[in-house]
A and B are shown apart, each in its own frame.
Chain A
Amino acid sequence: GESVGLHLPTLSVQEGDNSIINCAYSNSASDYFIWYKQESGKGPQFIIDIRSNMDKRQGQRVTVLLNKTVKHLSLQIAATQPGDSAVYFCAEKDSSYKLIFGSGTRLLVRP
């Protein structure tokens, strides 16, 4: 794959605060991006997606921002809850429809 995760950075936030998780993607030709949440021992769970012709998309309590100039993606979670604690991955779709995952960020929500 193009992105290899050798460590997992951790973001610790207070319950109720907003969380921002960042991701740098590698392929400027990627045209579709997805954020996934993964809990221990489970498969990835879809959170929100965005196509390359957009720079912002909002869902329920989540917002994804895309900056193609610097190949950067961010996930904002409003009013973070204990149930949001998990590992979050960004993924990019390349022209061959492969979905390549970023290195991931562990989100810890303090009560």
Chain B
Amino acid sequence: GAVVSQHPSRVICKSGTSVKIECRSLDFQATTMFWYRQFPKQSLMLMATSNEGSKATYEQGVEKDKFLINHASLTLSTLTVTSAHPEDSSFYICSARGTDSYGYTFGSGTRLTVV
């Protein structure tokens, strides 16, 4: 089946630094990538949608200059949290959709802690 590899699974960084999270589709071409953020005991909130080779589309209230998304190839998308602050600490999850309109594959998530 379709697999999305997300790394790192956990990261701790200092306030003010940047962190990059990678998502790779291992056995299919991800035409669209979705990035979610999940706070404790809450649902997954969609942050942005990216199509390969295009600029990401951000949901209302998500700072595009803070959460940089790159989807340069059909198998790789990255989310960079720039100038991270403690309030950015969260669980970040990617999801990839291939050419099958109804197929969504999720990564295993990245726990970001900003100290």
A contacts, CB < 8 Å to B: 1, 3-8, 32, 34, 36, 41-46, 49, 51, 89, 93, 96-104
Q: Is the CB of B107 within 8 A of A8?
A: no
Q: Is the CB of B108 within 8 A of A43?
A: yes
The 4 closest A-B pairs by CB, nearest first: A5-B43, A43-B106, A101-B44, A43-B108
In the complex formed, the residue of A with least CB distance to B107 is A43
- Cβ contacts under 8 Å, A104 to chain B: 42-43
Q: Is the CB of A1 within 8 A of B46?
A: yes
A52 to chain B, nearest CB (A): 11
Q: Is the CB of B43 within 8 A of A101?
A: yes
Q: Is the CB of B34 within 8 A of A98?
A: yes
B2 to chain A, nearest CB (A): 10
Q: Is the CB of B42 within 8 A of A41?
A: no
- Cβ contacts under 8 Å, B97 to chain A: 97
Q: Is the CB of A100 within 8 A of B108?
A: no
Tell whether B21 is near chain A: CB-to-CB under 8 Å.
no
> If A7-B41, A43-B6 touch, does A99 touch B108 (CB 8 Å cutoff)?
no
